[in-house]
Structure 1
Amino acid sequence: MTDLALSSSLAMAATHPDPAFPRFHPRPAQGWINDPNGVSYINGRYHVFFQYNPSSARHTQIQWGHVSSADLVHWDEHPVALVPQEGGPDSAGCWTGVVTSDDGVPTAAYSGIRDYDGHSQVVIARGSSDLVSWEQDGHVAASMPEDPLVTAVRDPFIFRFNGARYAMQGAGLADGRAALLLYSVSDMDHWDYKGIWLTTANPIAAKHTPAEIWECPQLVEVPSNSGESTWVMMFSLWLSGDDHEHANGVGHLIGSLSLDPDSGLPVFAPVAGGKSDLGRDFYAPQITQLSHGSTDAAPAALLWGWANEGPGRDGRRGRTQEEIDDAGWSGVLTHPRVLSVVGDALVVAPAPEVSAYRGALVATGAAGSVAVPGFAEVLVRGSGNASGAVSLVLGSDAEAQVVYSGSLDADEELRIFIDASLVEVYRSGSVATTLRAYPAPGETWTLALPDGATADVWELSLPAE
């Protein structure tokens, strides 16, 4: 068993030959990645797995890559965790799933597909205590339900409520609705199907999470400014023909969880919802529940999302498939994000730990037009009389791209992270905006601020361990 990390992912990134390669968002130096999987905190380390093709920058032959960290700042890359088993239920790929501790044993539950035209099944694998070595024996815990209304199933997610363990999967129905399927999981090896749990027939779900299939369903309990906790359900909103464009993006529902007195099963009642990220380059997030009902300073849940490469969106210059192939890599995961609810609105903020990447302070209280390094954090503050738009521009003159533009009101704050080709914007009291943009040789970043706004700018650097 290998119990040592192969390398420091961030240390390798600093010498990557592609100037668009992020240095402060860990991922392998080569290959395709997409959905974060198996996000967990076990035995004192955060583990983030992800769909991975180490052989090319194409979405094929999907395995599970693996990075881990004790502090959310210094990340180590580990050997591939799960691989398709010839003749097994995952022979056509180890797709989205979760990792949980099952009586102290790290256990993965993921979508396995036997052939590319087949339906997914929930496949179980057991891991070593450090989650580096995995045993795949092809055990199937749940197959496609024998319900003619259910035409597609994928992406298991496990949650706990009232001391019991449940699971759900995203689904599509024959009548065009997206749906959630519910399972009782007293035994990880044998899931008990309980039926269709929620669909887009619910008017709040139809308004905020429209889709043909709810992919990557999530359900976590997070703190609310009411002093109580509330439940957030999140979906990636799949439409036929998306092909990684995902026009509907990611949406969420906010509501309560209670037990049905007749069935004894949990019931989710949504009361509000919205977009979970305002950028076009964000999909397939996964959330790990760290604690239940926490209202103290410690995060109750952390989220990672996937930002893919693309042909260019909203006036931003993208990358062609040929350029992606030449670069040899595709996809990056966001910073870890903290969730909370204020009123009926989801609030998303970067995990406090990422502030450790702040290096040299290159500007303080800057106004007007501000030069920004290619690896930077920017804190924008609006004063009592601030009103107008903040714009982040790449390049100059006729070739300039407005990568981000958004309003800034009095007393609002924006935290903007630039990591080569990945931009994350966090607005106080709101959700984030995730964007991709690719600097050409010699191009620089400029922040344009409205009157009454100021910015502090730090270069990013990796702190010593």
Structure 2
Amino acid sequence: MTETETRATVALDTHFPAVHLRPPAHWINDPNGLVFHDGHYHVYFQHNPHSARHADMHWGHFRSPDLIHWELLPVALAPTPGGDDEGGVWSGNAVSHDGRLTAFYSAKRDDRRHQPITSATSYDGGTTFTKRGSLLIPEAADGTTMFRDPYVWRDGDSWRMLVGAALADGRAAALQYASADLDDWSYEGIFLARPPHPLRDGRNTEEGWECAQYAAFPDGTGAVLASAWDPQEGASCAIYWTGREQHGEFQAAATPQLLDHGPDFYAPALLHAPDGRWLMWAWIWEARDEERVGAPSVWTDEAGWAGMLSLPRELTPGPDGELVQRPARELLSLRGERRIAAAGRASAEQPVDLGEVSRATDLTVTLERGGRLRLLTSRDGTEYLDIVHHLVSGELVVDRAHASLDSRAKGGSWRFPAEGPDMTLRILLDHSVAEIFTAAGRTLTLRSYPVGDGPWRVQMGATGVGSAAYTVGAWDLTPPGQGVGRDADS
């Protein structure tokens, strides 16, 4: 397809998001260079501006004064033919300092095993960058089998950097570097390293970490975030450890945690906002017919686009050692018409239809044990997404086995840990994605691809022989202007 034909196809795609950030077409993955600079929040991201495949990595660029009104700017960084990054400008971050913006990224070449670190500087508010011209950290640390994705932050009068790695001894690691001037960096050793550790849903923390990030909280605690990478299967899941930094190393709690309990969330990246909040975005990938993440997909080629960024989340330390995630408070301003305000009881024999909702909807739900919310997306009721508060275990089960009548869409069910006799949720639906937040601050993100011909409807029911109480509110999610990400050139 020509570029014009691709954009025309994407514009008609009912799965394309309304409020999640992504360019008008083609591939997007990791958020990069999240920074507040020159009066704007800047969100850069991995982007192939030429196709919907995972290749030819550039840095795309959004900016916003308020986290609501986003402007898509021209591509900020592109590979240099014959240069150190000719194979792609891969993931990293950015810092604002002395009126300039400096981006740090992984420089990829096909003739190198590792991805060394380099930088580029912008003096025009982050729109155009001048590359350093030579590698910043040309060689990976000794004993590494994987090395990529710098994360730089200010620590007093100096600068620090984490780089994701896999070690030859089988451990995954976040390696640390230090600098006084953002230009000369010294290796300071391992910040955190762990062998693969099982997680509650059958996944594990893997042998390599990508996109290692660090948040230091006001109470003296901190969290290391990473993306678990399997040497054979590739990208797996987002994980974290809480703990404290002592003597230049991170003393982590014994048990790692899933950052998101769903199947389609990866590469989280942090932004320390001017008001002190830790904000986080991540890559939400597709769940179409690809064999594994990043593999070619016939469906994706037909669609002309792949991936999106999560909505911004606020990250805070919780009382029990877990991280608490909430939708950024600014997102409340996206609420439009209220479609549902209801409370009652429902049973398996007598489900209750609450009415129609938009394909972009902000839902608040409280479910008693045994309760079920069903999002019906076909007129005959054969296509639906189920969210069930399990009667026996108390877990929240999100089941997409029937969420698409297209047989190419991935299925499966995913679970939250139990949180009490009632589960209170906020669910942000956007055409082909659901971001689900619990009252305790846990999250579950997953993709589904409804193709039914009916309006979307909310139905409350129950499992087992009894009935279950519910409370539901639903508002349209209304992007400012007409279609975030559709009306700007990349």
TM band (smaller chain) = 0.7 to 0.9
2:399 aligned residue? none
What is aligned with 2:310?
Answer: 334
Equivalences for residues 373-412 of structure 1 within 5 A: 373-382=358-367, 386-396=368-378, 399-402=382-385, 404-406=387-389, 407=396, 409-410=420-421, 412=423
TM-score normalised by structure 1 residue count: 0.84
The CA deviation string for residues 58-86 of structure 1, in whole angstroms up to 9 with x for no partner, is 00100000011111111100000000011
Rounded Cα–Cα distance in structure 2 between residues aligned with 1:392 and 1:16 = 28
Alpha-carbon contact 1:311-1:320 (below 8 Å) kept: no
Partner of 1:254: 242
1:24 to 10, 19, 22: 19
Matched, 1:177 2:168: no
**More displaced stretch, 327-336 vs 398-407:** 398-407
Residue by residue over 1:5-58, the C-alpha shift from the partner in whole angstroms, topping out at 9 and shown as x without a partner, is xxxxxxx99x92111100111211111000000011112111100000011000
Offset of 1:392 from its aligned partner? 4.0
1:276 aligns to 2:280 (yes or no): no
**Which residue of the partner structure matches residue 288 of structure 1?**
271
Match of 1:294 in 2: none
Alignment of 1:46-195 (within 5 A): 46-115=41-110, 117-145=112-140, 147=142, 149-195=143-189
User: Closer, same or farther in 2 for the Cα pair 1:411/1:229, shift >3 Å?
Assistant: farther
The 1:241/1:399 distance shift into structure 2, 3 A limit, reads: farther
1:130 and 1:404, CA in 2 relative to 1: closer, same or farther beyond 3 A? farther
Tell me the equivalent position of 2:485.
none
2:466 counterpart of 1:461: no
- Distance in 2 (alpha carbons) for counterparts of 1:70 and 1:236: 29
The one-character-per-residue Cα deviations of 1:359-378 (angstroms, maximum 9, x if unpaired) are 10111125544343211110
- Who is 2:336 aligned against? 359
> In the alignment, which residue of structure 2 is the partner of 1:5?
none
Whether contact under 8 Å (1:170, 1:180) holds in the other structure is: yes
SS class of match (2:330): helix
d(CA) in 1 for partners of 2:112 and 2:244? 37
Please give the alpha-carbon distance, in whole angstroms, between the structure 1 residues aligned to 2:276 and 2:423: 22
Q: Is the 8 A contact 1:204 1:270 kept in 2?
A: no
How much is the aligned-residue C-alpha RMSD, in angstroms?
A: 2.9
Residue identity opposite 1:290 in structure 2: A
Which string of whole-angstrom CA distances, capped at 9 and with x for unpartnered residues, describes residues 330-385 of structure 1?
Answer: 00001000011222111111001111111101111255443432111101135xxx
1:416, 1:425 within 8 Å by CA — same for their partners in 2?
A: yes
Contact 1:157 1:167 in 2 (8 A): yes
1:436 corresponds to 2:442: no
Deviation at 1:87, TM superposition (A): 1.6
CA pair 217-329 structure 1, distance change in 2 beyond 3 A: same
In the TM superposition, residue 391 of structure 1 has moved relative to its aligned partner by 3.4
Aligned length: 426
Paired letter, 1:231:
G
Percent identical pairs in the alignment equals 34
- SS of the counterpart of 1:33? strand
Structure number with greater CO (CA < 8 Å, separation at least 6) is 2
Cα distance in structure 2, aligned partners of 1:205 and 1:220 = 22
Instruction: Report the 3-state secondary structure (helix = DSSP H, G, I; strand = E; otherwise coil) of the residue aligned with 1:96.
Output: strand
Partner SS, residue 361 of structure 2: strand
Does the aligned pair in 1 maintain the 2:226–2:238 contact within 8 Å? yes
- 1:393 and 1:446 in contact (8 A); partners too: yes
Counterpart-to-counterpart distance in 2, 1:278 and 1:235: 14
Partner residue in 1 for 2:425? 414
Question: Are the aligned partners of 1:208 and 1:253 in contact in 2 as well (CA < 8 Å)?
Answer: no
Q: Determine the structure 2 residue equivalent to 1:349.
A: 326
- Structure 1 window deviating more from structure 2 (18-27 vs 370-379): it is 370-379
Counterpart CA distance in 1 for 2:317 and 2:376 is 33
Q: Which moved more, 1:137-146 or 1:339-348?
A: 137-146
User: Take 1:441 and 1:233, find their aligned partners in 2: how far apart are those partners?
Assistant: 41
Contact preservation (8 Å) 1:96, 1:111:
yes
Q: Which runs of 5+ in 2 are unaligned?
A: 1-6, 345-351, 390-395, 397-418, 463-467, 483-490
